């Protein structure tokens, strides 16, 4: 457990700020060490994950922190993690090597940093993010002030990547056929290693001259509705971090402080009301956000806040634990439970590949509370074999070895 007193130390400014930060909270996220996670309820863990993953990355190395870089410079460690599009490739092909950058679908040569800077100006991070989607898990959209949909990317660390790319079972979990083989193997159970980490980020596309003084910025690439590759300067509005430690999975979520009035619901192609304050905000979050604000003072990261964390599906009194993000689960916060939802991550037979994450008994609602997966599977698909995929919904991005063509997700 990481003592809370270690999280109270302010970050020294200057070129060694990142080194000082990592000395306090450890650099396990960037390297293969045990993480400073705990079963304290998750608040201290959330701050440690935020600190580790937002440390500057070491140039030329993916997922490794640069202890000599100045805090608040980029790219951040988590930005250099493997994009899910680099793991789950067209035709179920093997993931490209860890250090290789292949985020944009095969056959596309992206603009280089010099060209991006000339076109869009400087950013906090020089990383080019391939944004593979502009819809949330429920198929709906949330938009910025210009009614432009928020876009997303999903990234995985080395432990997460290795488990999929080179599983000891020899099952190629990066394609549908490999997952089907794992499902049928009576000796195989999906179980990611300790420190496996996934980050899901939400970004808005910036207009020329738009104020980004309180946002972490980078470059983004995406396919428009006509299938044409576009580029933009992008601003981070929110992100999830999920991580496996010795106690199981912890789910944490963060938002930029202007979200309540700067992002909007969307219906019939029209911008509606602002998303408002996150209704699942953890009452204990304030003290941890004070740590974030103090530690990252003078950087863009001081404008981000932890909304909450989740290690269990229910609290001590048996009540469902809710956790949502206004830019990722906008429309169902009252039935949004990260751990309960991810407990439904699964693989089934070809005829019924994934059981739905939604509870359809009361309409379309998220599942909350304790999830008895096998009971649900028997009710929804009697006689068929389904396996949980250890809380990893990202596995559903896998393609078949028989699939062809580029995956130009929008």
What pLDDT sits at residue 64?
97
Query: How large is the angle between the packed helices 43-53 and 285-295, nearest 10 degrees?
Result: 30
CA–CA separation, 386 vs 348, rounded Å?
4
**153 Cβ partners below 8 Å, 6+ apart?**
83, 84, 129, 130, 131, 132, 200, 201, 203
Total number of residues shown for the chain = 410
Task: Give me the residue spans of the domains in the chain.
Answer: 4-397
Number of alpha carbons in the 13 Å side-chain half-sphere of residue 50: 32
CA–CA separation, 183 vs 189, rounded Å?
8
Q: Give the H/E segment covering residue 307.
A: strand 304-310
CA–CA separation, 199 vs 83, rounded Å?
9
Task: Please give the model's pTM, rounded to 2 decimal places.
Answer: 0.90
| Digit-coded pLDDT (tens) for 222-266 | 999 999 999 999 999 999 999 999 889 999 999 999 999 999 999
pLDDT in tens, the chain (410 residues): 333 333 322 333 343 343 434 333 333 333 333 334 343 569 999 999 999 999 999 999 999 999 999 999 999 999 999 999 999 999 999 999 999 999 998 678 899 999 999 999 999 999 999 999 999 999 999 999 999 999 999 999 999 999 999 999 999 999 999 999 999 999 999 999 999 999 999 999 999 999 999 999 999 999 999 999 999 999 999 999 999 998 899 999 999 999 999 999 999 999 999 999 999 999 999 999 999 999 999 999 999 999 999 999 999 999 999 999 999 999 999 999 999 999 999 999 987 789 988 887 777 789 999 999 999 999 999 999 999 999 999 999 999 999 876 555 55
Based on C-alpha coordinates, what's the Rg of the chain? Answer: 20
What pLDDT sits at residue 29?
38
Q: Are strands 270-274 and 151-156 parallel, antiparallel or unpaired?
A: unpaired
What pLDDT sits at residue 409?
53
């Amino acid at each position: 457990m990481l003592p809370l007193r270690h999280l109270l130390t302010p970050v020294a400014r200057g070129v060694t700020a990142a080194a000082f930060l990592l000395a306090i909270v450890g650099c396990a996220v960037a390297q293969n060490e045990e993480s400073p996670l705990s079963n304290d309820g998750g608040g201290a863990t959330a701050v440690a994950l935020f600190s580790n993953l937002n440390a500057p990355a070491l140039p030329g190395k993916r997922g490794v922190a640069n202890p000599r870089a100045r805090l608040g410079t980029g790219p951040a460690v988590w930005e250099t993690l493997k994009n899910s599009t680099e793991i789950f490739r067209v035709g179920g092909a093997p993931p490209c090597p860890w250090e290789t950058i292949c985020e944009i679908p095969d056959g596309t040569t992206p603009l280089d940093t010099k060209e991006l800077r000339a076109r869009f100006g400087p950013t906090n991070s020089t990383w080019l993010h391939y944004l593979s989607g502009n819809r949330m898990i429920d198929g709906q959209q949330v938009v910025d002030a210009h009614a432009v949909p928020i876009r997303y990317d999903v990234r995985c660390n080395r432990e997460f990547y290795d488990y999929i790319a080179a599983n000891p079972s020899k099952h190629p979990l990066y394609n549908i056929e490999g997952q089907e083989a794992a499902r049928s193997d009576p000796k195989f159970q999906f179980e990611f290693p300790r420190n496996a980490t996934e980050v899901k980020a939400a970004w808005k596309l910036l207009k020329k001259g738009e104020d980004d003084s309180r946002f972490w910025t980078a470059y983004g690439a995406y396919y428009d509705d006509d299938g044409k590759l576009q580029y933009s300067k992008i601003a981070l509005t929110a992100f999830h971090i999920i991580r496996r430690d010795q106690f199981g999975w912890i789910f944490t979520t963060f938002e930029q402080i202007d979200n309540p009035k700067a992002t909007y619901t969307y219906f019939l192609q029209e911008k509606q009301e602002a998303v408002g304050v996150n209704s699942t905000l953890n009452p204990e979050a304030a003290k941890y956000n004070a740590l974030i604000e103090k530690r990252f003072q003078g950087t863009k990261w001081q404008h981000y806040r932890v909304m909450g964390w989740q290690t269990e599906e229910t609290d001590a009194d048996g009540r469902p634990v809710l956790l949502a993000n206004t830019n990722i689960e906008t429309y169902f916060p009252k039935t949004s439970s990260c751990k309960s939802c991810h407990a439904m991550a699964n693989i089934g037979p070809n005829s019924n590949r994934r059981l739905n994450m939604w509870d359809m008994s009361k309409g379309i609602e998220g599942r909350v509370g304790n999830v008895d997966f096998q009971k649900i599977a028997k009710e929804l698909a009697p006689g068929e074999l389904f396996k949980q995929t250890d809380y990893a919904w990202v596995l559903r991005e896998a393609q078949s070895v028989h699939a062809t063509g580029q995956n130009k997700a929008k």
